[in-house]
Structure 1
Amino acid sequence: MKALLRRILDVCEMPLIQKCATATSFTEQEVTNIIDDLTLIAKSHITSLSSRYRYAPRDSHAVRGAVLTLFDDCFLAFDEGMNDARQ
């Protein structure tokens, strides 16, 4: 599971930073939309990895849970891009 979370982090980090770079705050709906986008990106990446590695197929709910775990564990944060943009 740790390896899978790392793969999801790798593929989600830059899109999240790019989305946060131009914003100073987010509405609840915008946060939900960003998490949905990251879930789609991660699911697509896991599907492509499953053809080469021994990753079991994951449904969207499991992938969304993994994305949310990365936020909960502070590996992903909505203020990352905002801090980079201010410097």
Structure 2
Amino acid sequence: METNRTFEQSDTWTEEDCLDVTTFSLQYAATIFHSDPDILGGSPVFIATRVPIETLLDYLEAGDSIDEFFDHFASVSGDRAI
């Protein structure tokens, strides 16, 4: 996957530009989390873990630091969560 591509904001985005950004975003997201009906009923989890993405959001919403999340879920790499 191409990760060094940049997208500049423009008032004249075409439909193709929007599709490119969406495709890139989905490809990038697929390297961070996945959903499988056999793992936690299909809840999106960080790849190679059983830690739901929602857990990170719950921590942040409760005012906990991302470091606290990492302390409790060491199997999630910092790059993925950030």
Bin for the TM-score computed over the shorter chain: 0.3 to 0.5
Write 1 or 2 for the structure with the bigger share of helix: 1
User: Which entry has the higher C-alpha Rg, 1 or 2?
Assistant: 2
Q: 1 or 2, which has the higher strand percentage?
A: 2
**TM-score for both structures, normalised by structure 2:** 0.35
TM-score, normalising length from structure 1? 0.33
Q: Which has the higher contact order (CA 8 A, sep 6+)?
A: 1
